[in-house]
């Protein structure tokens, strides 16, 4: 950066803006902003395109004269659009986050929190379970041969189908509240962790395992000193997927618990009443939540990797 | 504790011991080796079923909550045409097509992101965003956009499988070692040459990770998407309908088909993985 | 389980050979047919000996060391270490092994890498610190304790891996071209150090090298191997005294032995 | 106080106003009951919850309840607050459909999950096959909303007088552009929202007593709701944890619901019951139930309660 | 894009030096402070020269080669290769590089590994086959074409990586201890081969080694480096003729040069 300054001396005005631009481009803000702007633009295009047939139908039924400008304006202001315009979604989010008490059941923040808590609980249980299973699979041949196929099979069970039954059964044995929902998150999130960690625990090079063998290192020692550190990159990649799936699980799990509260209930109620704008607002909240969770895992990854002396 | 429950538990203990004994054998003949690697999970599975049957019968669990495996089996045998039609609709159409498109686009997006540092910073965080678009949120929207039939289900599968592929491929593309990248640099290899000859092979274990995770996610996605409006055929349709009709055995019959199809699909991907990434320590080591 | 190494040496072992191979053969099965890496190797290494293995690249030196270390199973014949099977000896932590490639753990600093076997064998934190400092000094790496492997040059990595094997007290040292990547001066220094260590501690050392002078300078016995299928073609006893200053390498006796080794190597090569 | 858990068939809305009113106005408390109302949802099968012990009493439609009874969940109707059916098929006039005969060759949206029985028996009544083809109707599993009609993916969709119909209107399609077929008018109406319990529990006098008090208080709630529809709607709104319901919609729904409950004091009308059973039995090759059920209802509770 | 290498040599370059370093310095920033790997290095290598770099482990030899190859950016000073910047030279595929570690791709067989640069540089399939066969023969690896790297001994892997760098015709060869893991006989053989290749093709070679005899035997010039911060302490011109049979190593002239190199090395070490 400093080295480039003397070279840029002639025409310093443009060079200055150049570096400012570069500094922004090197950061994340500008690229994200540009990509977002592009997406928003395309989105507006689609809003008009997708909502137009309905709007034209309205005009015809009401026998009104209309111009293209009218059409563009009206397609972005429908009450139940096929695709709501970005500003409609934002307005709805503003209304349901800022303008209401966070504790009110109309507050999106409240619903997000409910979903988040079961996501986190489920994710924590799921990751732990996944790691433990992977440990078992890597260390016990019987488990390797027999459990893995059934872990895979378990994932092909459509969770939404069993979720109500799980909830009913758990209710029958006295479990209710956060845990049943969290268990559905667990069910979805342990799988990527198992798959990733089995791979990770098996990723040490032959020579490294040989070295541990020459020390007659116990399995536990080999595990903590070699397998675990080698598997960490896999752990974090898996956890990114797992935390995102966990959220999906929590949302799915909210349906059979009676669609009472949480982003899932909100989505459902929205679709039940055809409130597209409300669906999209909830959808965005969910996505924002997921993005922050994934980013958080990513941050953890960077910190841990830096502590492990990874090459920058 | 009653006899059925006790019997189930005894069976479990016995089967576990048998498996432990079996895996200690390491036959040299490849045929025996293959047989063993099928026998062990089979015994485990049979154990699960026996324990299930025993517990359901022994504890008198209402069949509308959980039917015993024997009842499910009867139902499977009795409803083959329906099951086949549902399988064709959901798996052969929605899952396979959605999987191919979702994995494909996730992969291409990862390449695009990798190619351009700009996109890497701009698009990857948004990729995280897409990842969490919950199926139950997008499924109705996809039905709105792509109609009732399988294309809307395939679209849901695309959205679900996209992110795992993206994340894994991006991670995999940075998995090649520094010295190997230096080597390619000394050849002044072009971006694409480095990609195809070094970075993609080195990324293959990660990519297969995603392909495996996605093989099960795709099925879940397609089935769940069918809860939100479909023609009256499909595994998800059948499941949601038959739950309402208290035909829980039919629900489990569909689940069994889904589990079988999903496991075979996964097995196929895993088999291809072994062939393609034979050099990776996790596979070389056996 | 975590007891310090080599306390399981049976009393009987003091008289019996430390390494004893009888009709040892090893064949690797590869996709395009079997590769015979060792064929009918007979060898006995007594306590306190310094045996060098020399032979063309790919002749099976590494494989033989790995068999001693119980890292490879022979397909025929018998191997005994300290009178025990190779596995029992490994479990008793009978040896330290320096691999041909450094094989440092990338997530550990140099000092942590050297401390690894000490941690595993249950040394106390104080003793670990002491031994790490001592062995790093021995290989001239003081000052690099906190660096990660990728921040070191190739030779420095190799020296770190030597330090790692010397950090604990194994009676048997298996060293696979430990000084291959080192410059002459460091190499001379380490050769002296190794001889000194050997003389002082009465360790038994099996040493793979490509350098004839190095083999002659260090060894009490030099095993010449020939390639594919790897077998022992010559065993040369050194007549040099145990006390060996560096300039012994210019004596006629030394040159004579070196010449014999070179001849042995050539003979093995030509009947390939 | 005795605990009672009520499992609803659907999400919190004015369709269940009577129960919420009874709770809110203290009618349950007066009967020394502590009632928990569990909202339902698209995957909640109330009979399953009942069988699993998650509820003491459920709200269910009679076709689904009788079908479940045949499948081994011995449901018994103990009260019937809804007198008439609110179910309809709503079509766009522009599709040219004028009579049920015109359904042939069309695409119809139908709710499944146990809600398809009335439709299936109506179609078999008309002799229209439901598996597509020239002569038959193409059936779509209708999702949670009225989009299939608005987007012309279906020619007709199922609606309730109190709910989906108004969503179509709200979406901007004027009433005169619609044509509706009420199940009541077609003579194929089946009984909706009744209260059901498990048969064996009725052998327990204590449970019977609890249900008597429960039904009495609930009916008091229903009558209160009929008289004060706007207040009832507000009570429902207060109980909606999703915060998604709107006042306008719930008030209107309450108005429509009041019409359906109006004719009932909670006692099951045996004639209505018989009509429902006959209609379900007349299913042609694939009837909803195969034989007339025995003991599927009891007047014991309502007799004592009212 | 895929044009065969080295056709971009500018005409002017034939007279100017192939490698020219001026006041070159390189400092690595590490977590615990900067490490000066190169300090003020001035060096010029002319066309057709064979320059060896010798110096203690960690003195910056690898780093210097990496700077020439545009794999490392100097923090000060200037480097020119064929009269171009290091980057432009790399893009023109001006050199072949043999790394200190073999760095073979585990998913490619040996022959495919050797063919890698040829694929990248767009050689035809026929020519690839021919060149792979020829260079594998040169390093004595015929018969191992279809093996994977992990099925080869350490020395064999190193030879495969040499073959890989020789397979295409770069005018400049950068070799980082290529023969470190090889036995004396193979090493002698490859030394001869390399000299022969050099004499025949008029390549320029920069060669890192730890062996003084090897450096003297091969080079026209020997650059002695001293450690931390790495600098050039001595440059010794060889007076040996271009034609060098193996037994030239016993001539007094040879021993005299070797002695000077050894002295230079010792001097550099002592002022550390
Ligand atoms: N895992 C393996 N699979 C197949 N063949 C192998 C394997 N390991 C070694 N070999 C073969 O066995 C032979 C001996 O190898 P080894 O590593 O013992 O040689 P070496 O004497 O140590 O050679 P170098 O001096 O080059 O290190 C070689 O031909 C090699 O190709
Ligand atoms: N990436 C890096 N980060 C930090 N320090 C480094 C890095 N690479 C090399 N060094 C340091 O630079 C110095 C020179 O290293 P270099 O690899 O050039 O040595 P060398 O002369 O090739 O030694 P050897 O003969 O052992 O291979 C060493 O002290 C090393 O620790
Ligand atoms: C999957 C699904 N099932 C049923 C309905 C319709 N619905 C809403 S309320 C009600 C009456 C029962 O209380 C019915 C049938 C739907 N929209 N989606
Ligand atoms: Mg070797
Ligand atoms: Mg180096």
Cβ atoms of D34 and D4 within 8 Å: the answer is: yes
Q: Which residue from A minimizes the CA distance to D40?
A: A258
pLDDT band at A4 (very low <50, low <70, confident <90, very high): very low
Q: CB A69: neighbour CB atoms within 10 A?
A: 8
Choose the most confident range, by mean pLDDT, from B11-20, B274-283, E43-52: E43-52
Ramachandran angles phi, psi of A178, nearest 5°: -70, -40
- Residue with the bigger pLDDT between D193 and D151: it is D193
% of chain B exceeding 90 in pLDDT: 16
In a domain, B70, yes or no: no
% of chain A exceeding 90 in pLDDT: 10
pLDDT for the residue numbered C2: 44
| CATH superfamily, with its number, for domain A108-307 | MetI-like (1.10.3720.10)
Query: Shortest CA distance to A82 belongs to which of A267, A277, A289, A287?
Result: A277
Cβ distance B179 to E96 less than 8 Å, yes or no, reads: no
Q: Distance of CA C233 to CAs A137, C46, C80, C226, E32, Å?
A: 46, 19, 21, 6, 51
pLDDT band at C9 (very low <50, low <70, confident <90, very high): very low
pLDDT for the residue numbered A155: 79
- What does the pLDDT look like over B159-187, one tens digit per residue? 888 888 988 898 888 888 888 888 888 88
Provide ipTM, 2 decimals: 0.78
- What does the pLDDT look like over D89-137, one tens digit per residue? 999 888 888 888 888 888 888 888 778 888 888 888 888 888 777 788 8
pLDDT for the residue numbered D286: 66
Arithmetic mean of pLDDT, D203-228: 90
pLDDT for the residue numbered D104: 86
B165 and B55 in a common domain: no
* pLDDT of B199 higher than 70: yes
Instruction: For the sheet with D107-110, list strands across it.
Output: B230-231, D138-141, D107-110, D156-160, D87-92, D178-182
Around ion ligand 5, residues with a beta carbon closer than 5 Å are C 153-154; E 62, 100
pLDDT band at E253 (very low <50, low <70, confident <90, very high): confident
* pLDDT of A302 higher than 80: yes
pLDDT for the residue numbered A144: 80
* pLDDT of A307 higher than 90: no
pLDDT for the residue numbered D1: 81
Of chain E residues 93-152, which have a CB less than 8 A from chain B?
A: 93, 95-97, 99, 101, 103, 105-107, 116-117, 119-121, 148, 150
CA–CA distance, A39 with A47 (Å, rounded to integer) = 12
pLDDT for the residue numbered C55: 86
- What does the pLDDT look like over C75-128, one tens digit per residue? 888 999 888 888 888 888 888 888 877 788 888 999 999 999 898 888 999 999
- What does the pLDDT look like over C198-215, one tens digit per residue? 888 888 999 998 888 889
Cβ atoms of B209 and A271 within 8 Å: the answer is: no
Decide the pairing of beta strands D107-110 and D156-160.
Answer: parallel
B165 and B248 in a common domain: yes
DSSP C189-258: HHHHHHHHHHHHHT-EEEEE-S-HHHHHHH-SEEEEEETTTTEEEEEEE--S-S---GGGGGSHHHHHHH
* pLDDT of B283 higher than 80: no
| Range scoring the smallest mean pLDDT among C241-245, D40-44, E135-139 | D40-44
pLDDT for the residue numbered B56: 84
Nearest ligand 3 atom to the CA of D115 is: 15
pLDDT for the residue numbered C270: 58
CA–CA distance, E186 with C269 (Å, rounded to integer) = 10
- What does the pLDDT look like over A241-292, one tens digit per residue? 899 888 888 887 776 555 567 888 887 777 777 778 888 888 888 888 888 8
- E149 alpha carbon to ligand 4 midpoint, in Å? 13
- What does the pLDDT look like over E212-252, one tens digit per residue? 888 999 999 999 988 767 888 888 888 888 788 878 888 88
Q: CB C106: neighbour CB atoms within 10 A?
A: 16
Write the CB contacts of D93 (distance below 8 Å, at least 6 apart in sequence). Answer: D176, D177, D178, D179
- What does the pLDDT look like over C218-263, one tens digit per residue? 999 999 988 767 888 888 888 888 788 878 888 888 888 888 888 8
pLDDT band at A209 (very low <50, low <70, confident <90, very high): confident
Could you tell me where the DSSP H helices lie in chain A? 4-7, 12-26, 29-62, 68-75, 86-97, 108-139, 141-155, 159-172, 178-201, 206-214, 219-222, 228-254, 263-272, 276-307
B80 and B35 in a common domain: no
Query: Shortest CA distance to C212 belongs to which of C155, C158, C259, C175?
Result: C259
CA–CA distance, A138 with B286 (Å, rounded to integer) = 12
Q: Could you give the number of structural domains in chain B? A: 2
Of chain B residues 256-285, which have a CB less than 8 A from chain A?
A: 258-263, 266-267, 280-282, 284-285
Mean pLDDT of chain C: 84
pLDDT for the residue numbered A312: 60
Give per-residue burial for B145-175: e unless 16+ CB within 10 Å, then b: bebbbbbbbbbbbbbbbbbbbbbbbbbbbee
Q: Which helix (H) or strand (E) holds B16?
A: helix B3-24
Q: Which chains touch A (3 or more CB pairs under 8 A)?
A: B, C, D
pTM above 0.90?
Answer: no
B142 and B57 in a common domain: no
Q: Distance of CA A233 to CAs A207, C204, D21, D245, Å?
A: 20, 41, 57, 46
Mean pLDDT of chain A: 80
- For ligand 1, is residue E151 a contact (CB within 6 Å)? yes
pLDDT for the residue numbered A256: 58
Exposed, middle or buried, D297 (CB in 10 Å: 0-12/13-18/19+)? buried
B126 closest CB neighbour out of A35, A251, A279: A35
- What does the pLDDT look like over A149-193, one tens digit per residue? 778 888 777 776 677 777 777 776 677 777 888 888 898 889 889
In a domain, B67, yes or no: no
**Chosen domain end from B19, B37, B61:** B61
pLDDT band at A10 (very low <50, low <70, confident <90, very high): very low
CATH 1.10.3720.10 residue ranges in chain A? 108-307
Secondary structure (3-state) at B230: strand
B241 closest CB neighbour out of D113, D140, D148: D113
Ligand 2 pocket test: which of C140, C153, C156, C184 has the largest number of ligand atoms within 8 Å of its C-beta? C153
CA–CA distance, C243 with C251 (Å, rounded to integer) = 14
Cβ distance C99 to A217 less than 8 Å, yes or no, reads: no
pLDDT band at E4 (very low <50, low <70, confident <90, very high): very low
% of chain C exceeding 90 in pLDDT: 16
Strand partners, E172: E95, E204
pLDDT for the residue numbered B136: 67
pLDDT for the residue numbered B208: 92
- Domain extent, residue B22, equals 3-61
Q: Distance of CA D11 to CAs B41, C115, D58, Å?
A: 43, 64, 13
pLDDT for the residue numbered A16: 45
Write the CB contacts of E192 (distance below 8 Å, at least 6 apart in sequence). Answer: E246
E87 touches chain B (CB under 8 A): no
Tell me which chain D residues have a C-beta less than 8 angstroms from the C-beta of B59.
Answer: none
Q: So what CATH class is C5-94+172-270?
A: alpha beta
Q: Distance of CA D223 to CAs A19, D9, D19, D259, D265, Å?
A: 75, 20, 11, 11, 8
Identify whether E246 is preceded by a cis peptide bond (ω within 30 of 0). no
* pLDDT of C13 higher than 60: no
Break chain C into its structural domains and give their ranges.
5-94+172-270, 106-169
Nearest ligand 1 atom to the CA of E154 is: 27
B27 and B81 in a common domain: no
% of chain A exceeding 70 in pLDDT: 86
Cβ atoms of B212 and A193 within 8 Å: the answer is: no
Q: Distance of CA E261 to CAs A221, C181, C185, Å?
A: 48, 19, 12
């Amino acid at each position: 950066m400093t080295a480039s300054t003397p070279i840029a001396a002639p025409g310093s005005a443009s060079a200055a803006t150049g570096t400012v631009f570069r500094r922004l481009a090197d950061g994340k803000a500008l690229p994200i902003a540009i990509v977002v702007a592009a997406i928003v633009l395309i989105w507006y295009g689609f809003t008009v395109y997708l909502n137009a047939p309905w709007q034209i139908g309205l005009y015809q039924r009401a026998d009104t004269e209309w111009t293209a400008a009218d059409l563009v304006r009206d397609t972005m202001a429908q009450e139940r659009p096929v695709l709501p315009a970005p500003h409609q979604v934002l307005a709805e989010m503003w209304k349901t986050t800022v303008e209401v008490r966070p504790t009110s059941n109309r507050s999106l923040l409240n619903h997000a929190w409910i979903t988040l808590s079961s996501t986190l609980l489920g994710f924590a249980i799921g990751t732990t379970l996944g790691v433990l299973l992977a440990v078992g699979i890597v260390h016990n041949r019987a488990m390797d041969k027999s459990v893995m196929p059934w872990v895979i099979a378990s994932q092909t069970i459509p969770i939404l189908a069993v979720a109500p039954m799980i909830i009913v059964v758990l209710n029958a044995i006295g479990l209710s509240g956060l845990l049943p929902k969290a268990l559905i998150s667990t069910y979805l999130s342990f799988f990527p962790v198992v798959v990733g960690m089995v791979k990770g625990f098996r990723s040490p090079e032959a020579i490294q395992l040989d070295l541990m063998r020459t020390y007659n290192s116990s399995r536990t020692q080999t595990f903590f000193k070699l397998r675990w550190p080698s598997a960490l990159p896999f752990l974090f990649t898996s956890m990114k997927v797992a935390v995102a799936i966990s959220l999906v699980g929590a949302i799915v799990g909210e349906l059979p618990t009676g669609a009472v509260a949480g982003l899932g209930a909100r989505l459902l109620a929205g679709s039940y009443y055809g409130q597209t704008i409300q669906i999209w607002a909830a959808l965005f909240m969910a996505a924002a939540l997921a993005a922050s969770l994934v980013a958080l895992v990513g941050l953890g990854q960077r910190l841990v990797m830096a502590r492990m002396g990874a090459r920058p | 504790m009653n006899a059925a429950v006790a019997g189930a538990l005894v069976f479990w203990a016995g089967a576990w011991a048998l498996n432990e004994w079996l895996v200690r054998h390491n036959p040299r003949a490849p045929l025996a080796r293959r047989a063993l690697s099928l026998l062990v999970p089979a015994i485990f599975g049979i154990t699960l079923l026996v324990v299930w049957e025993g517990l359901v019968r022994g504890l008198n669990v209402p069949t509308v909550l959980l039917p015993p495996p024997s009842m499910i089996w009867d139902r499977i045998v009795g409803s083959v045409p329906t099951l086949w039609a549902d399988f064709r609709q959901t798996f052969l159409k929605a899952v396979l097509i959605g999987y191919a498109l979702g994995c494909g686009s996730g992969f291409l997006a990862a390449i695009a992101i990798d190619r351009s540092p700009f996109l890497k910073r701009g698009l990857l965080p948004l990729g995280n965003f897409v990842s969490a678009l919950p199926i139950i949120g997008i499924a109705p929207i996809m039905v709105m956009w792509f109609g009732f039939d399988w294309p809307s289900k395939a679209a849901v599968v695309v959205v679900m499988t996209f992110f795992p592929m993206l994340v894994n491929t991006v991670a995999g593309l940075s998995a090649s070692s520094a010295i190997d990248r230096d080597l390619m640099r000394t050849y002044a290899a072009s971006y694409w040459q480095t990609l195809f000859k070094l970075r993609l092979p080195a990324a293959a274990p990660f990519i297969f990770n995603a392909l495996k995770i996605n093989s099960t996610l795709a099925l879940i996605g397609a089935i769940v998407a069918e809860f939100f409006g479909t023609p009256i055929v499909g595994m998800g349709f059948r499941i949601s309908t038959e739950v309402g009709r208290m035909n829980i055995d039919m629900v489990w019959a569909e689940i069994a088909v889904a589990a079988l199809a999903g496991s075979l699909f996964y097995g196929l991907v895993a088999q291809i993985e072994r062939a393609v990434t034979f050099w990776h320590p996790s596979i070389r080591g056996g | 389980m975590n007891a310090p190494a080599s306390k399981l040496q049976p009393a009987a072992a003091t008289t019996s050979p430390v390494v004893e191979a009888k009709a040892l053969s090893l064949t690797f099965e590869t996709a395009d047919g079997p590769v015979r890496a060792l064929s009918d190797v007979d060898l006995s290494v007594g306590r306190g000996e310094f045996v060098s293995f020399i032979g063309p690249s790919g002749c099976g030196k590494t494989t033989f060391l790995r068999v001693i270390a119980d890292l490879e199973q022979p397909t025929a014949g018998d191997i005994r270490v300290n009178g025990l099977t190779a596995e029992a000896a490994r479990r008793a932590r009978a040896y330290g092994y320096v691999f041909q490639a450094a094989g440092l753990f990338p997530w550990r600093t140099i000092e942590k890498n050297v401390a690894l076997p000490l941690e595993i064998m249950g040394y106390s934190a104080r003793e670990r610190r002491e031994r790490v400092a001592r062995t790093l000094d021995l290989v001239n790496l003081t000052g690099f304790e906190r660096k990660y492997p990728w921040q070191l040059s190739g030779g420095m990595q190799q020296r770190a891996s030597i330090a790692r094997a010397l950090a604990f007290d194994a009676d048997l040292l298996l060293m696979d071209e430990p000084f291959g990547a080192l410059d002459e001066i460091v190499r001379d220094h380490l050769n002296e150090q190794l001889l000194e260590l050997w003389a002082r501690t009465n360790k038994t050392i099996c040493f793979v090298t490509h350098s004839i002078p190095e083999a002659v300078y260090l060894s009490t016995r030099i095993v010449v191997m020939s390639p594919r299928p790897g077998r022992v073609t010559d065993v040369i006893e050194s007549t040099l005294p145990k006390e060996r200053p560096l300039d012994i390498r210019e004596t006629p006796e030394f040159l004579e032995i070196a010449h014999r080794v070179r001849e042995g190597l050539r003979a093995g090569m030509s009947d390939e | 106080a005795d605990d009672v858990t009520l499992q609803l068939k659907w999400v919190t809305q004015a369709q269940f106003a009577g129960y919420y009113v009874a709770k809110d106005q203290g009618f349950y408390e007066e009967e020394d009951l502590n009632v928990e109302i569990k909202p339902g949802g698209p995957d909640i099968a109330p009979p399953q919850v009942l069988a699993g012990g998650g509820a003491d009493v459920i709200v269910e439609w009679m076709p689904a309840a009788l079908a479940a009874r045949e499948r081994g969940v011995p449901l018994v109707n103990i009260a019937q607050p809804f007198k008439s059916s609110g179910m309809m098929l709503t079509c766009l006039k522009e599709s040219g459909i004028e009579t049920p005969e015109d359904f042939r060759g069309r695409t119809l949206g139908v709710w499944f999950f146990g809600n398809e029985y009335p439709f299936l028996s109506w179609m078999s009544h008309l002799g229209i096959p439901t598996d597509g083809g020239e002569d038959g109707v193409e059936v779509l599993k209708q999702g949670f909303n009225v989009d299939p009609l608005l987007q012309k993916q279906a020619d007709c969709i199922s609606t309730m007088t109190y709910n989906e119909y108004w969503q179509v209107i709200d979406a901007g399609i004027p009433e005169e552009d619609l044509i509706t077929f009420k199940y009541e008018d077609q003579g194929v109406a089946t009984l909706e929202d009744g209260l059901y319990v498990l048969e064996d529990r009725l052998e327990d006098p204590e449970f019977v007593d609890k249900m008597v008090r429960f039904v009495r208080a609930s009916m008091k709630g229903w009558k209160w709701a009929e008289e004060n529809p706007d207040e009832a709607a507000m009570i429902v709104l207060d109980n909606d944890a999703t915060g998604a319901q709107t006042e306008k919609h719930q008030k209107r729904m309450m108005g429509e619901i009041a019409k359906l409950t109006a004719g009932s004091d909670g006692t099951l009308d045996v004639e209505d019951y018989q009509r429902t059973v006959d209609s379900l039995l007349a299913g042609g090759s694939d009837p909803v139930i195969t034989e007339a059920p025995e003991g599927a209802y009891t007047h014991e509770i309502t007799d004592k309660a009212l």
